[in-house]
């Protein structure tokens, strides 16, 4: 009695399986070029910070393919990172230019934190540029329990520029400076000396560091043309810059951030959104440091979305 039903069910299952696995509708592929798993397009030529990427080398090409695939198919994380470019690139890019650091290092920031100024790693690195506490202090950032400038967007970007310039001067190239941002200058220099090479692409490094630059390059490829890599983002869906604010100076001996926010017509949540370097509700300012605080204006939370002019 049940045999015909079972046979019919099996036939339907086989039919659906064939359609789902073996015969993806052509219209779906044409509408979304990454709807099926495939090797993402690579350019004929590529550079990082003006230094050529030797795509003719099989290992270089394979390393790049790996990281582009990871970026393309780590959908939600990569998508959110792309959406944040219009919020943070307008802050990061002028600082890079001011310090003479190539614009491509904004992609290093994407690789480091996903453009999340509140990002914190399991190792304790924090902020957009993921400084460890000791390294942040070495680069002039003020790091304490209640105030931590590793999370200060502008100041941490300036600190990253200083680190990268020093690394480039000591190691000889921007690609090696990028590797040093992940592994440290001493670690990279030691490996260069032991292996007798001065070119990043000839240098054997720990796996995380060998993947690191290619992770940056993957964002360089995807960010300007997300649709080619399967990310469908309308201009108005990019995050708007958080520019509707005014600045005040604060140097009280005891700072209650919530009370200060209320006094200035806002709340602690919005104050933290503009000033992620605030790390607690209060701060005992015994040294009477002066902090420049961004205060959201009345229309801050109702800012419009991104626009075609502000796309990365």
Residue 35: pLDDT band with limits 50, 70, 90: low
pLDDT value at residue 282: 98
Q: Dihedrals φ, ψ of 207, to 5°?
A: -55, -45
| % of the chain exceeding 70 in pLDDT | 86
Q: Dihedrals φ, ψ of 205, to 5°?
A: -130, 165
Q: Contact, 107 vs 216, CB < 8 A?
A: yes
More confident residue, 228 or 309: 228
* Contacting residues for 236 by C-beta, under 8 A, at least 6 apart: 305, 306, 307
User: Can you tell me the distance from the alpha carbon of 178 to that of 180, in angstroms, rounded to the nearest whole number?
Assistant: 5
Q: Contact, 96 vs 103, CB < 8 A?
A: yes
Residue 4 CB neighbours (<10 A): 8
* Contacting residues for 165 by C-beta, under 8 A, at least 6 apart: 99, 100, 101, 177
Question: Between the ranges 27-31, 36-40, 275-279, where is the mean pLDDT highest?
Answer: 275-279
pLDDT of 102 higher than 90: yes
pLDDT value at residue 37: 76
Residue 17: pLDDT band with limits 50, 70, 90: very low
pLDDT in tens, 285-310: 999 999 999 999 998 998 654 444 45
CA nearest neighbour of 25 among 37, 38, 36: 36
* Contacting residues for 11 by C-beta, under 8 A, at least 6 apart: none
Q: Which long-range contacts (CB under 8 A, 24 or more apart) does 43-50 make?
A: 43/221, 46/217, 46/220, 46/221, 48/104, 48/174, 48/175, 48/178, 48/213, 48/216, 48/217, 48/220, 49/102, 49/104, 49/105, 49/174, 49/175, 49/178, 50/102, 50/174
Q: Which tokens is 115 given?
A: 């453009």
* Contacting residues for 300 by C-beta, under 8 A, at least 6 apart: 242, 244, 245, 266, 270
pLDDT value at residue 62: 96
More confident residue, 68 or 2: 68
pLDDT of 79 higher than 80: yes
Q: Which tokens is 266 given?
A: 């806002």
pLDDT value at residue 38: 80
Q: Contact, 183 vs 192, CB < 8 A?
A: no
pLDDT value at residue 97: 98
Residue 231: pLDDT band with limits 50, 70, 90: very high
pLDDT of 1 higher than 50: no
Mean pLDDT of 259-277: 97
Mean pLDDT of 112-127: 96
Token match 């400076």: residue?
177
pLDDT in tens, 235-257: 899 999 999 999 999 999 999 99
- Cα 1 to Cα 7, 75, 183: the distances in Å are 11, 47, 68
Mean pLDDT of 96-118: 98
| 49 Rama sector, left if φ>0, alpha if ψ -120 to 50, beta otherwise | left
């Amino acid at each position: 009695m049940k045999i015909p039903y079972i046979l019919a069910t099996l036939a339907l299952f086989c039919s659906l399986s064939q359609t789902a696995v073996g015969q993806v509708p052509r219209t779906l592929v044409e509408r979304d070029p990454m709807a099926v798993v495939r090797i993402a397009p690579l350019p004929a030529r590529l550079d990082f910070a003006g230094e050529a990427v030797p795509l003719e080398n099989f290992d270089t090409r394979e390393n790049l393919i790996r990281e582009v695939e990871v970026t393309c198919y780590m959908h939600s994380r990569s998508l959110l990172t792309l959406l944040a470019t219009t919020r943070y690139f307008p802050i990061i890019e002028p600082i890079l230019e001011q310090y003479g650091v190539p614009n491509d290092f904004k992609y290093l920031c994407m690789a480091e934190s996903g453009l999340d100024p509140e990002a914190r790693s399991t190792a304790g690195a924090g902020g957009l540029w993921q400084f460890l506490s000791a390294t942040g202090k070495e680069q002039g950032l003020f790091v304490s329990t209640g105030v931590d400038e590793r999370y200060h967007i502008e100041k941490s970007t300036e600190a990253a520029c200083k680190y990268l310039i020093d690394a480039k001067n000591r190691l000889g190239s921007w690609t090696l400076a990028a590797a040093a941002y992940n592994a440290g200058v001493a670690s990279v220099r030691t490996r260069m000396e032991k292996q007798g090479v001065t070119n990043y692409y000839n240098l054997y490094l720990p796996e995380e560091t060998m993947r690191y630059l290619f992770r940056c390059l993957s964002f360089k490829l995807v960010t300007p043309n997300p649709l080619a890599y399967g990310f469908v983002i309308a201009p108005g869906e990019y995050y708007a810059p958080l520019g509707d604010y005014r600045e005040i100076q604060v140097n009280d001996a005891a700072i209650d951030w919530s009370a200060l926010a209320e006094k200035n017509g806002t709340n602690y949540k919005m104050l933290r959104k503009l000033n992620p370097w605030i790390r607690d509700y209060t701060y005992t300012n015994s040294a009477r440091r002066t902090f420049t605080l961004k205060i959201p204006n009345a229309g801050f939370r109702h800012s419009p979305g991104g626009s075609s002019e502000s796309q990365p």
